Structure 1
């Protein structure tokens, strides 16, 4: 019963909760994300993009296991981009790569479309909803659902 939540301690995590495979999976996902963020940081420095959400990069992975891994997570959200295209294979010359991650490279592409006023992703579907012309499909559905919840009897 501390006076502030900020003075509380975290409880001890049971050892049985440890999941080494999950830890390794997310370590690799974060490694792959580093290549994307590295490429986008160069684009930002060159003033080609202002935000990573303006990008829809192409990520080349030589290892098929990496390609499969990336299918198991919403990688565009992990990388904080509006989209991402995963290509299983060698990258073209000039693609951004990090020396410590062999077989992984990125071509930074701009995302096509307009910026969603709710989530800020740049998507071609923005503008396709009459009720919410400034929203993407996902945000339109969320706002519509929120409206239904507000109208439902208590």
Structure 2
């Protein structure tokens, strides 16, 4: 849990939390997709979102990458994107969720959800990260973007 009872806006991950997650990641089977879920973004793509970045995320991303994480999923800023932070021990992707059902939308970002396809639902060794946006005229979500990534396997 990266939120705190007295402060939900500026999330934080402690070194104890980072190490606990790293131990779990290290025990994962090679065939497993290794995900870490946090509330605040572990990496941002826009300067104006830096203040919302998870506190301690630099250390967390490096350690979780080293321990075998494939992706870190986050939300909080209502802006969907996928980023691969540079300079980590092994590649991983930060997958940010938009806003699924709320009306707290960002400009140019309608309601959206991410769908991850892995294993028998994707090409061998690959993970498909799909973004599905809501189109009010159709009253439905439709896939608007797909990014196929190849998680590192040691």
Shorter-normalised TM range: under 0.3
Higher relative contact order at CA 8 Å, sep ≥6: structure 1 or structure 2?
1
Higher helix share: 1
Higher strand share: 2
After TM superposition, the score normalised by the length of structure 1 is 0.28
After TM superposition, the score normalised by the length of structure 2 is 0.28
Q: Which of the pair has more CA radius of gyration?
A: 1
